[in-house]
Amino acid sequence: MRLLIIGSLGGQVGAASRIAMQRGAKVLQAEGISQGLDVLRSGQGADVIMVDVAFDIEHLVAALKAERINIPVVACGIETDSRAAVAAIKAGAKEYIPLPPDAELIAAVLEAVSADQDTLVYQDPAMERVLQMAKKVAASIAPVLVVGESGTGKELIARYLHRNSPRKDRPFVAVNCAAIPGELLESELFGHEKGAFTGAIARRIGKFEEAMGGTLLLDEISEMDLKLQAKLLRVLQEREVVRIGSNTPVKVDTRIVATSNRNMEETVKAGKFREDLYFRLNVVKIVMPPLRDRPKDLEVLANHFARECAEDNGLAFKAVSAGAMAALKAHAWPGNVRELENTLHRAVLLAGGDEIDEEAIMLVGSDSPGAAAAGVGGLVGRTVADVEQHLIIDTLRHTLGNRTHAAKILGISIRTLRNKLNAYVQEGVPVPAPGAGEVA
């Protein structure tokens, strides 16, 4: 976790830094927004920005968007400054932390951003074999191609490779090749010079340089444009990048891990991925097994997610009953581990007894009683907006009004949640009050 603090945070920057570092974060500080942007452009990188609410947060958010720097912003200010807090959220901050800083609140924000990115929970021999292979190749500089269905944990393996390599104290940088338009991905990877194209208002270091000495994850690389694939191949061969708008090559020492949810051999045959790049990346291939092929992992993962979600929501842990576990084991899990996690999130909130029973398990395409009753009979005749409203309100009640936790469970941004809640209030719908330390 890399934290960039912008400003003095009301004189509390030292305390906030110490708390963050105690939680395992690496902390950088900048005196103002301009200096903070320079830090990010220089390739030092950050996973979250904490900024003094006294600064122009709308300008910061707009600048980040204009330069395609996708980092969440958290505003901080004196506890009584509620107007500034509301203004910061409206300006685009993901959350507001009152000062002086509370250790648990800062920890919760950092945890929400990191989202347990390194957690690997398994018991099945199929996953044991995957980890054994990953451990054997972790120390090498060889590129690794991780393939598997969506939701199987490909990024977790990439992080495992980094964590078990000699590069573990250097940056781990991830780029989602499917989420960035082709014309922008080149700049994201290789960087650019000031004036190289419209909108290039300053030099920006690319992800290859940002990950110098560490690991660069090229997530969903099979979605990359063919022209950019050719440029990437050259970078891998020459071990140097040329920023857009420059003629000067920069040597890079970056270990590459690439992932794909496609059959890469078929993608190559279809002419959608360069064969020479595929061979360059495919020095070591790790195949992530789908959850249906990891039967011994289902039970341990289900109880892990049940405990984790209960803790996140301040609820008592409830074990998964035998009947509920049978329903889970009978499901095909097309969404794999990610689908299982979401299912347990819902179940923890819906469970009414001393354990999570079958009625709380809502599975897509399942014939289980819980899914049939709640998923069909309980929804027929209701509008999508009505169902969504009830789901949001019920989730807020279970999180005791905590907007951050509710948004995480619902899978939406805190800003989207607040916009919907404001609309409900205008319609006269009662909305649970914010949790401790939060703003409406």
Same CATH topology for 2-114 and 384-426: the answer is no
Which CATH architecture describes the domain 125-289? Answer: 3-Layer(aba) Sandwich (3.40)
Dihedral (C-alpha) 427, 428, 431, 434: value to the nearest 10 degrees?
Answer: 90
From the centroid of its chain, how far is CA 230? Answer: 28
Cα–Cα distance list, 61 to 42, 91, 302 (Å):
18, 7, 38
- Closest by CA to 167, choosing from 144, 188, 140, 145, is 140
Tell me, what's the pLDDT at 374?
Answer: 40
Confidence at residue 164, expressed as pLDDT on a 0 to 100 scale: 93
Is residue 218 within 8 Å of residue 177, measured between CB atoms?
Answer: yes
CATH code reported for the domain at 384-426: 1.10.10.60
CB atoms within 10 A of CB 255: 23
Q: Which among 122, 125, 141, 130 has a CA at the least distance from the CA of 287?
A: 130
Residue 81: per-residue pLDDT = 63
Alpha-carbon gap, residue 153 to 157, rounded angstroms: 7
Residue-level pLDDT at 364: 62
Segments making up each domain of the chain, as ranges: 2-114, 125-289, 292-377, 384-426
Q: What is the pLDDT of residue 367?
A: 47
The amino acid occupying position 137 is: V
- Backbone phi, psi, residue 285, to 5°: -110, 130
The CATH code of domain 2-114 reads: 3.40.50.2300
Binned average pLDDT, 10 residues per bin, the chain of 440 residues: 82 78 82 91 83 90 83 80 78 82 70 60 93 95 95 93 92 89 88 87 91 95 94 96 94 96 95 96 96 93 90 85 93 89 87 89 60 44 73 78 77 79 84 66
Cβ pair 292, 332 in contact under 8 A: yes
The pLDDT value recorded for residue 338 is 86
What does the chain come to in residues?
440
Q: Residue 306: helix, strand or coil by DSSP? A: helix
Taking domain 292-377, whether its CATH number is 3.40.50.170 is answered by: no
In this prediction, residue 78 carries a pLDDT of: 74
Terminal-to-terminal C-alpha distance of the chain: 28
